[in-house]
Structure 1
Amino acid sequence: MANVKIGRLADEITSQLRKYSQVIADDVEQIMDDVTKEAVGRLKSKIQEVGLVQTGDYMRGWTRKRVPNGWVIHNKTDYQLAHLLEYGHAMVNGGRVPGTPHIRPVEEWLEKEFEDRVEKAIKQ
């Protein structure tokens, strides 16, 4: 962009902004991939840490899936247990089983980590 004629300046600026935009989009895509992969690992570790592992099916079910606008982290085997274990539930004979927060801490970490990494990528 060193020797640009004044008539082409706007075109050159637009071209450079498109290139920069594509670089940032690629960086964000890579960050999403890395952070969601790490979040699934953290979620599995958290499940072991809080003692929710009995057979291991619930823990092994946590995975991530590519969707058009990014990634979704979900439990493919015991999805119906996630809400019950996170928030607690009523028992058949009365009483209540307390919830064991294991998803929320990982979700909060994921949001903060993603934001920090994107900010870092933009500042470079």
Structure 2
Amino acid sequence: MGEHETTGILESIVEKLPGGYDIYFWNFVILMFFTLFEVAAVFFETIPGTDIEITLYAVWAILIGVGVIKGYGIAAYFMHLKGDPRIYTRTALFPVLFVLLMLWGIGLSNPGSVQALPDWCTPNWEFASQR
């Protein structure tokens, strides 16, 4: 499917999987699995089947960690950066600086985090809580 052939540990594992699907199919499956994991981390207040509460910091850690994994999967295979010259990867990673600045500037430097942002900066959530 890609214009160039990628080689590595993941690619050699994919070649041995049943079904004859390529790396892009399995990358998509892995991305969907991690998306379900992200949604579950935000949706559930406790770990299902237990009384263990999922704290805000645990949700942050899950979302950031899974975001890094998904970002690699998207950049490496769907953007075809795996196997390309390093300058392409560095150019594509430049916007990460702005994402980190937004995370720090909005999410971490505000004492109340995103929950204490002004009213003009947050949506009206009444429609979601009233059915």
TM-score strictly above 0.5 = no
More strand by proportion, 1 or 2? 1
Rg larger for: 1
Higher relative contact order (CA 8 A, sep 6+): 1
